[in-house]
Amino acid sequence: MRAFEYASPKTKEQAVALLGRSWTDAQVLAGGTDLLSLMKDDVVAPKRVVNLKGVEELRGIRFDPAGGLRLGALVTWDEVLDDASVRRHYPSLRAAVGEIAGPQIRSVGTLGGSLCQRPRCWYFRGGFGLLGQAPGGRSMVVDGDNRYHAILGNEGPAYFVSPSTLAPLLIALGATVRLFGPKGAREIPVEKFFRVPKTTEEREHDLAPGEIVTEVRVPPGSARTASYEVREKEGLDWPLATASVALKMNGNRVQSARVVLGHVAPVPWPSPEAEAALAGKAMSEAVAQAAGDAAVSKAKALSGNGYKVQLARVAVKRAVLAAAGGGAR
């Protein structure tokens, strides 16, 4: 690990001032579960690390019936699990958080860190850049080991998968993320926070140098929601495919649906095809299966990840059935 300056601001304004104007100037430290690994592997080498733990306004969970849920960027997963308002009003969110990593990670990992974490792609982690390109610009992913890479949104040059397990559910819930930077505050849908880079100069988040995530807001709602994820093992591992579903029901009939896949594309992947397959239908296993089929109808597997198509199909089907059955609301 290379030498760096260390700063601990007390306000978000101080933090932004310390971050500088480029990604090489400084990096944000929240829980540290991702940044420290990147620094140890020499993937990033910031001149300054800005510790946000002293910025109290980035903490806390607050709920009110009219405005919904406010989650500070520094909220840990354990705090989400322990919060009574989350348990009562957002059980699907609590269930999804309970699937994240293990107790050691949940005690320090933060909401903001989850949204901003970098891809787990081994080409990126091996120092070949976000797009995993060899000298000359040739993709190492297409001709290499791509068993964990994208099956959707993988027309190139980005083939990594978005690593945030919670982002698909937040998108299905209609959540927004608030950012703060040199130009002040702005708020965008969580869906718009993620983007597919087209060049090596671009990043996978709509986050400019000097900006930080301050909070996430989840609106109140009556939709039935659920998530389903598939992993190789139950312990500390990233999913191979996930699906998050929000259904507005009239009895057994789906009025409208929101279906978002995770770990199958460079961004959390909304599926209008699956949503159309559900809208207006009386819920049944066959309808849920049709939604799963529709969700992967445009999938394009690489040489080593064709198995993920079936996993994503099954994840959507099971998330739909769980939501329709009222397993979470």
CA separation for the pair 254, 275 (Å, rounded): 10
- What's the topology of domain 56-116+162-218? 3.30.465
Q: Is the pLDDT of residue 199 over 90?
A: yes
Mean per-residue pLDDT over the chain, rounded: 94
Mean pLDDT of 223-251: 90
Q: Which tens digit of pLDDT belongs to each residue from 24-38?
A: 899 999 998 899 999
Q: What is this structure's pTM?
A: 0.95
Q: Which tens digit of pLDDT belongs to each residue from 106-134?
A: 888 999 999 999 999 999 999 999 999 99
Closest by CA to 169, choosing from 274, 69, 260, is 260
The set of residues, in sequence order, having a beta carbon less than 8 Å from that of 326 and lying 6+ positions away, is: 224
Mean pLDDT of 208-236: 91
36-45 long-range contacts (CB < 8 A, ≥24 apart) are 38/118, 38/125, 39/1, 39/2, 39/4, 40/1, 41/125, 41/127, 42/1, 42/2, 42/127, 43/118, 43/124, 43/125, 43/127, 45/2, 45/4
Closest by CA to 223, choosing from 175, 266, 179, is 175
The set of residues, in sequence order, having a beta carbon less than 8 Å from that of 106 and lying 6+ positions away, is: 76, 77, 78, 81, 97, 100
Mean pLDDT of 149-155: 97
Mean pLDDT of 295-318: 98
Q: Is the pLDDT of residue 329 over 60?
A: no
Q: Which tens digit of pLDDT belongs to each residue from 242-264?
A: 999 999 999 999 999 999 999 99
pLDDT of residue 236: 64
- CATH 3.30.390.50 positions along the chain are 224-324
Structural class in CATH, domain 224-324:
alpha beta
CA separation for the pair 300, 308 (Å, rounded): 10
Q: Is the pLDDT of residue 184 over 80?
A: yes
Which pair of structure tokens corresponds to residue 256? 């409208």
pLDDT of residue 293: 98
Q: Which tens digit of pLDDT belongs to each residue from 68-111?
A: 999 999 999 999 999 999 999 999 999 999 888 678 888 889 99
Tally of CA atoms within 13 A in the half-sphere of 322 that contains its CB: 22
- Name the band, by pLDDT with cuts 50, 70 and 90, for residue 235: low
- CATH 3.30.465.10 positions along the chain are 56-116+162-218
Which pair of structure tokens corresponds to residue 91? 């059980």
- Name the band, by pLDDT with cuts 50, 70 and 90, for residue 172: very high
Contact by Cβ (8 Å): 288, 275: no
Give the type of residue at 63.
F
HEC readout, 96-140: HHHCCCCHHHHHHCEHHHHHHCCCCCHHHHCCCCCCCECCCCCEH
CA separation for the pair 150, 39 (Å, rounded): 25
